[in-house]
Structure 1
């Protein structure tokens, strides 16, 4: 085990981007939820998605 906390995939289905209200895509390698429409990646810390725009990483 790599030490990563498993993300609850059922929770993913209920979450949407707080900016665009569109579907998010789970990036298991980076432990992020990606909003392609907002070009933001929201971190998942200890299995909990951090859905704050200020905490999101901007995508190119």
Structure 2
């Protein structure tokens, strides 16, 4: 897996959860944006965050 450039990481960190509007945490190991407030992890595919609830996975 490749490292996310600093500017891309800053962009990812500026996104908010589409459900709760709370901040998201970037999980580089899983290539996801995690919303602890909603209990969801949104995938990043090809460098593009997929911010659709139907595409998110439930956190344990």
TM class, shorter-length: 0.7 to 0.9
Q: Are 2:13 and 2:25, in contact at CA under 8 Å, matched by a contact in 1?
A: no
| Counterpart in the other structure of 1:50 | 50
- Select the structure with the greater relative contact order (CA < 8 A; seq sep ≥ 6): 1
Q: TM-score, normalised by structure 1?
A: 0.86
Specify the alignment match of 1:21 in structure 2.
21
Instruction: Count residues with an aligned counterpart.
Output: 58
CA RMSD, Structure 1 to Structure 2 (Å): 1.5
User: Where is the helix percentage greater, Structure 1 or Structure 2?
Assistant: 2
- Runs of 4+ residues deviating >4 angstroms: none
TM-score (norm 2): 0.86
